[in-house]
Amino acid sequence: MPSPADVLLPLSTGHAIDEPGEVALEDYARVLLKAASAEAVRDAVDSRRVTGIRVSGLSKPPTPAALVDLEAFARSLVVDPSSGGLGWS
């Protein structure tokens, strides 16, 4: 259940990210944005796809550059079906 202080940061598109990639994305978002916590939000219809990040405990709003960086990191985690693993593994 989101708290009132949570902020949902939607990604431009859903990205197929597996569980290890999800953890990496959450950790990256938390550190990049200096948030107390970050949680990947999965698509309600296609649970393989991460459609956003819910963060809480932000001391200031994310900058546009940080959001671009977060989106690029999410893209780098997309599972490549031809390799059987993460894009970065």
Cα distances (Å, whole numbers) of residue 6 to 1, 49, 72? 10, 21, 22
Residues in CB range of 20: below 8 A, 6 or more apart = 86
- pLDDT above 90: percentage of residues in the chain: 78
Structural domains in the chain (count): 1
With H, G, I as helix, E, B as strand and everything else as coil, classify residue 16.
strand
Domain holding 59, by residue range, is: 7-80
Q: What is the mean pLDDT of residues 7-22?
A: 94
Q: List phi, psi (to 5°) of 21.
A: -65, -35
**What confidence score (pLDDT) does residue 82 get?**
57
With H, G, I as helix, E, B as strand and everything else as coil, classify residue 39.
strand
What amino acid occupies position 56? Answer: S
Q: Which of 14-18, 19-23, 77-81 has the lowest mean pLDDT?
A: 77-81
Q: What is the mean pLDDT of residues 60-85?
A: 85
Q: What is the mean pLDDT of residues 39-63?
A: 94
Q: What is the pTM of this model?
A: 0.85
Q: Is residue 66 part of a domain?
A: yes
